[in-house]
């Protein structure tokens, strides 16, 4: 897998266009890719998004084609987009491709990364994403959303490092109004984006191998 890290904020529409182009290349046999990047403040809608959950469109809104509902992307949030041929990688292991197993692997990448900073992430039945405990109750720290085309994945996950959490006020994040949103910095972990990237890459090697 080829890893690419982008130092400047990437407009969402540019990332979506490039991602779709890369999906086609991987479908034709190109190497899998993982992108680490940040977006300007943006709301994105998954295939299950409800119009009523867009409370106040303070930022540009994009339909994505990924699974899930509304979420926010912005500076201080580490986005990982993974374009991977699940059929090809499964064949190397002598297995059948499994989208559910892939999503579970993404969840484990986030959980292992959080653990390296002393943060216990966990999953909850019926709630997509990775959650943590806060003084105010359980809160989401990472969102997941995946699209698959001819067994090639796109999109991925978004981990909150130090975004402006007030920007979530314009949506009902993932359709769950009763839970909060948090970040590593809000939990007292003042880590840098470079430290987060190192943790994510180590976790990916641990979960995916190689």
| Cα 3 from Cα 161, distance rounded (Å) | 20
- Give me the catalytic one of 165, 174, 181, 186: 174
CA nearest neighbour of 34 among 79, 91, 64, 96: 79
CA nearest neighbour of 13 among 47, 58, 48, 62: 62
- Backbone phi and psi for residue 125, each to the nearest 5 degrees, phi listed first: -60, 130
CA nearest neighbour of 54 among 41, 69, 40, 65: 69
| Cα 86 from Cα 152, distance rounded (Å) | 6
174: annotated active-site residue: yes
**Which positions are catalytic?**
174
């Amino acid at each position: 897998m080829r890893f690419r890290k982008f130092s400047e904020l990437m407009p969402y529409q540019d990332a979506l266009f490039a991602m779709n182009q890369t999906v086609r290349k991987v479908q034709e046999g190109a190497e899998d890719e993982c992108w680490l990047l940040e977006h300007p403040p943006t709301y994105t809608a998954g295939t299950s998004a409800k119009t009523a959950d867009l409370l106040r469109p303070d930022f540009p809104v994009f339909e994505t084609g990924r699974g899930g509902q509304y979420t926010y992307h912005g500076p201080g949030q580490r986005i990982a987009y993974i374009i991977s041929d699940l059929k090809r990688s499964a064949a190397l292991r002598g297995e059948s491709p499994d989208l559910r197993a892939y999503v579970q692997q993404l969840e484990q990448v986030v959980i292992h990364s959080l653990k390296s900073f002393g943060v216990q992430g966990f999953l909850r039945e019926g709630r997509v994403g990775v959650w943590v405990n806060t003084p105010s109750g359980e809160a989401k720290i990472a969102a997941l959303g995946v699209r698959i085309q001819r067994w090639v994945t796109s999109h991925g996950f978004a981990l909150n490092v130090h975004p402006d959490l007030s920007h979530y006020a314009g949506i009902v994040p993932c359709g769950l109004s009763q839970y909060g949103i948090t970040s590593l910095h809000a939990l007292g972990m003042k880590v840098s984006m470079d430290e987060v990237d190192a943790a994510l890459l180590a976790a990916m090697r641990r979960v995916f191998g190689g």
